[in-house]
Amino acid sequence: MQTYLVGGAVRDALLGLPPGDRDFVVVGATAQQMLDAGFKQVGRDFPVFLHPQTGEEYALARTERKSGRGYTGFAVHANPSVTLEEDLRRRDFTINAIARAEDGTLVDPFGGAGDIEARVLRHVGDAFVEDPLRVLRAARFMARLAPLGFTVAPETIALMRQMAASGELDALVPERVWQELGKALRSAAPSAFLQCLRAADALRVVLPEVDALYGVPQRADYHPEIDTGTHVEMVCDMAARLAPGDELIGFGALCHDLGKALTPAAELPRHVMHEQRGVAVANAMSERLKAPSEHRELAALCSREHLLVHRIAELKPATIHDLIARCDGFRKPMRIDQLATVCEADARGRTGHAETPYPQAATLRRLFAAAQSVRGDAIAASGLKGPDFGAALRKARIAAIAQARSQPAIEP
C-alpha cells in the first residue's frame, strides 16, 4: 500500500502559491484495509476516506468509464490493481495529474510540471470530452491562473468546442454552473472565465445573457472599449480588484449591463432605458442559475440604479433617499456599500479609466450614513404612528441628506 499527495496541493506548491486542502490517493489497498486502519468512509459512490486524525481525504486509486450522458454518467472501478498512472490518467488537466510520493519524488506521467513551467492549461487525454463539467473547470481555472500567464492549449480549446457543439453541455445542472461561476467571480480575473468559454463557443450555452452582450456597441466617448461584452469583462475584473474574493460584488458587476443586449438596433450605440430593461434579464438569469436570494436582489438593483449613482451629484436629496429605500438600504445597510462598489467597478472598468477617481461612491456612503443617523424612536416619541410616522421619518432623513450634502466632505 502506497500513499501519494495529488492534485491541487502538488500543483500549487509547484506554482509557489499558498497551500490549500491536501488530497491523497492510496494505491494497492482495499476499502476494508482503510477501515481497519481507522479511516472513515464518506459517500457511497466513490472510495473516499477521511483520515482519523487530520480529517484529510484519502481516495483509493480508481479508473472511470463513461456509462451515460452528462457529468454523472460514470462507472467507477477501484481495487488494489489500479496503478497510480491509471488514476492520474482520469484527471482533467496535466497540471492536476501530478503526484508526490512520501519521499518527495514527483510522479508526472503526463508532463504537468512542464506545463506549469510553460504556463499552459492542457487536458490529460481524449477522455476529457466525456465530462462536460470540465469545460467550466477549464474556464474557472483560467480565472485564477491567467494572471500568472497561463493560456489554454489550442488542442484543449478544440475539444471544448467539440463538446459545446455536441450538446453535451446541456446536461450541466444549474447548481454546478453556479458553483463554478462563483469560484470564477472570487478569482482575480473573472474576465478570463468569460473569454475561455467564448473561445470554446460555450458561453452561449452557459450564460447566454452575457454572451448576447458581445458585439453590442456603446458610445465611444463614454466607453472607449466600445464593445459591451468587453466592458463587462473589465467591470468584473475591477470588481475583483476592489472587493477581492467577493462573489456577491462580482455577480452584481456581471449583471449590471445585461439590458444593453435588448437595445433596439436603431438606437445604438445609445442605450436609453437599458438599466430598467436589464432588471428582468438579471432576474431571469438568477432564476435559471438558482442563485442565492441576496445575489439575485443585488444583481437587480445594480442594473436598476447604477446610472443614478453615477449622477448622484445632480440628484435631489429626496431622490437619493428614495434610491436608498428602493434598495432596502435602511434594513440592509450593506446593500448600499455593495451598490457603491459595483458602480465604482462600472465606472473604472473602461479603457483608460482604471485609475480614474470615482467620488460618487464616497458620496453615496456619506449621505447614506447621514440618513441612517436619524433616530426613529425620537419621531415615535412625538406620538406619530402609521403613515404619519413613515412620512415624518422620510422627511427627517431627507433633511439629514441635504444637510450632509451642504457640508464639505472630509478627506480620508
State mean pLDDT over 333-345. Answer: 98
CA distance 385 to 397: 17
Does the pLDDT of residue 66 top 60, yes or no? no
Q: Is residue 314 part of a domain?
A: no
Residue partners of 274: CB distance under 8 A and separation at least 6: 257, 259, 260, 262, 263
Q: Confirm whether 337 is domain-assigned.
A: no
Question: What mean pLDDT do residues 84-95 have?
Answer: 94
Are the beta carbons of 67 and 75 closer than 8 angstroms?
A: yes
Q: State mean pLDDT over 392-410.
A: 90
DSSP-H helix ranges across 167-256: 174-185, 190-199, 203-206, 208-211, 228-242, 247-255
Give the per-residue pLDDT at 411.
52
Please indicate, yes or no, if residue 3 is contained in any of the structural domains. yes
pTM, full prediction: 0.91
Sign of the alpha-carbon dihedral angle for 247, 251, 254, 257: negative
Q: If we measure between CA atoms, which residue out of 49, 46, 64, 53 comes closest to residue 3?
A: 49
How many domains is the chain built from? 1
What is the arithmetic mean of pLDDT over 171-185? 96
The reply to whether 148 falls in a domain is no
**Domain presence at residue 64:** yes
Contact 41, 31 (CB under 8 A): yes
- 124-135: pLDDT as tens digits: 998 899 899 999
pLDDT of residue 410: 63
DSSP state of 107: E
Residue 12 has pLDDT above 70, yes or no: yes
Q: How far apart are CA 217 and CA 226, in angstroms?
A: 5
User: For residue 227, is it within any domain?
Assistant: no
Percent pLDDT > 70 in the chain is 95
Q: Is pLDDT at 177 greater than 90 in this prediction?
A: yes
pLDDT tens sequence across 239-271? 999 999 999 999 999 999 999 999 999 999 999
CB-based contacts of 8: which residues, under 8 Å, 6+ apart? 20, 21, 23, 96
**pLDDT of res. 67:** 52
Check pLDDT > 90 for residue 44.
no
- Other CB atoms within a 10 A radius of the CB of residue 23 amount to 17
* Residue 269, preceding peptide bond in cis (omega within 30° of 0): yes
Q: Which domain holds residue 106?
A: 1-123
Q: What is the CATH number of the domain that holds 73?
A: 3.30.460.10
Asked if 348 contacts 241 with a C-beta cutoff of 8 angstroms, the reply is no
User: Does position 68 have pLDDT exceeding 60, yes or no?
Assistant: no
pLDDT at 295 over 90: yes
| pLDDT value of position 304 | 98
| Residue-wise burial string across 263-302, b where 16 or more C-beta atoms lie within 10 A, e elsewhere | beeeeebebeebbebbbebbbebbeebebeeebbbbbbbb
Q: Give domain status of residue 232, yes or no.
A: no
In percent, how much of the chain has pLDDT > 90? 85
In-domain check, residue 298: no
What's the pLDDT tens digit per position in 97-117?
999 999 999 999 999 999 999
